[in-house]
Amino acid sequence: MSISRTKMDLFCIFILASMIAESSQLTCQSDLRRPEYNDIFVTCGTSTIELAILMCPVVYTGYNESLLILNHVYDKPECKGTLDETVNPPVVRFSFPINKTSACDSTFLTTSAAGTGIFADFSNIQTVNVSGVVRSHDPTTGVVTYNAELKYYYSCAYPLEYLLNNTQIDVSASSIAVRDNNGSFISTLSLELFSDENYTQPLVIPPLGLELRTNVYVQVKADNLTDQYHVLMDRCYASISPHPTNSTFFNLFVSCSKDQMTTIYMNGDSHNARFSFQAFRFVEQQNETVSTYYLHCITRLCETSTCADFKQCSSRRKRSIRSTGVLEATTLTSEIPIITSNDNSVESKEEAVSGSYSESDSRMGLGIAVGVLTLAVIVVVSVAFVLYKRIRRF
């Protein structure tokens, strides 16, 4: 009896595998093969993570797209894979948002470490890792199965200070594919300059530059970003060069330490971070018609529950007067340079005052000369008159 039942189970498995293979035979053609470690592709997007798993090795093993289950989630249609036969070879695609409430039970792990290198001034650098696994579901109901179990692990690491670095592919055991990628939210961020406190009028810099002490309003904004994170500016500074290595710079603020002309309105509270400063000029550009410099902001994304921790003031080592070599890829830089006019009105006034003094001195000298000459004429006439009288007496 048991032998007959075993034969029946084997027959059913054979029929099921044959049906699956036949349904994809024409599509796979020569691509039917055993699973390999690089059969999964992971795209770590700014708002979603996308997986693509080669379909033909799945068919070869005895499964179809409906038998690939993401993180043991069976009951959510948005977590199921879809077959894409528009590419060759075909793939099974999964796509889910980067959000703890709707990421198909992906695991979110945030780790912290002290900053090093260009981030040495910051005591807490965070990285969020989103990971999970796609497993095969074996429909066999018997005691044994002849189908290998498939496991496709994925992992996306998002460094929240935006140092972009793709990591290697790692592997583990047969029939298990692991793909770790680094993603970045930096493409969602933009740095904009405005001329009004409502942040509605973009800043237009005239050809001769902004007047000194003009208010410049700055906004770092995140678009299409999950609500799980807020924008927090760690440091904003200006440098003479658009690439601040070996360039003179001026800190507008670093953490809670800020210049007296800088006002921070919003930081770490939403998808927008805002501050303003008054236009200034670099002293070393004093002999130039205008002073030109660039604005840079080192920006992090903080989880809404932890932003308050980063906003607390802490003792940090001060930066030197020269640039620390911040790479362009790690900061947001203003697209247009900030240009201020070098005001020479004081020098002009001094020249005017000096000129008026010279003119006054000239007039005074002329008056004295005329007076002396008049006195000399009077003396000569008087002497001539006295001599004339004496001559007539004789």
User: Domain locations in the chain?
Assistant: 2-184, 188-341
What is the average per-residue pLDDT within 291-305?
86
**Tokens found for residue 94:** 């999964």
27-31, 282-286, 288-292: least confidently modelled range = 27-31
pLDDT in tens, 349-375: 334 334 444 444 555 556 666 666 777
Q: Give the architecture (CATH level 2) of 188-341.
A: Sandwich (2.60)
Residue 174 has pLDDT above 50, yes or no: no
Residue 383: pLDDT band with limits 50, 70, 90 = low
Q: How confident is the model at residue 37 (pLDDT cuts 50, 70, 90)?
A: confident
Q: What token pair was written down for 27?
A: 């599509």
Single pTM value for the model: 0.60
Give the pLDDT band (50/70/90) at residue 182: low
Contact of 341 with 290, CB cutoff 8 Å: yes
Q: What is the pLDDT of residue 10?
A: 43
* pLDDT band with cut points at 50, 70 and 90 for residue 178: low
Contacts 24+ apart (CB under 8 A), 305-311: 306/110, 306/126, 307/230, 307/232, 307/268, 307/269, 308/268, 309/124, 310/124, 310/232, 310/234, 310/268, 311/232, 311/267, 311/268
Note the CATH number of domain 2-184: 2.60.40.3210
Q: Looking at the predicted structure, is the pLDDT value of residue 166 above 80?
A: no
pLDDT band at 169 (very low <50, low <70, confident <90, very high): very low
- Better pLDDT: 202 or 5: 202
Q: In this predicted structure, which of 44-48, 127-131, 182-186, 199-203 has the lowest mean pLDDT? A: 182-186
Task: Pick 240 or 327 by higher pLDDT.
Answer: 240
Range from 6-15, 104-113, 160-169, 358-367 that averages highest in pLDDT: 104-113
Residue 388 is predicted with a pLDDT of 63
Within 8 A by CB and 6+ apart from 358, the residues are none
For 64-99, write each residue's pLDDT tens digit. 999 999 999 998 888 999 999 999 899 999 999 888
Give the pLDDT score at 367: 63
- C-alpha separations of 393 from 130, 379, 387 in Å: 132, 22, 10
Whose tokens are 């470690």? That residue is: 37
Q: Over pLDDT 90: what percentage of the chain?
A: 24
Structure tokens at 224: 């299409």
Of 170, 210, 172, nearest in space to 194 by CA: 210
Average pLDDT value for the chain: 75
- Among 143-152, 270-279, 337-346, 348-357, the range scoring the smallest mean pLDDT is 348-357
Q: Quick check: 225 and 185 in contact, CB under 8 A? A: yes
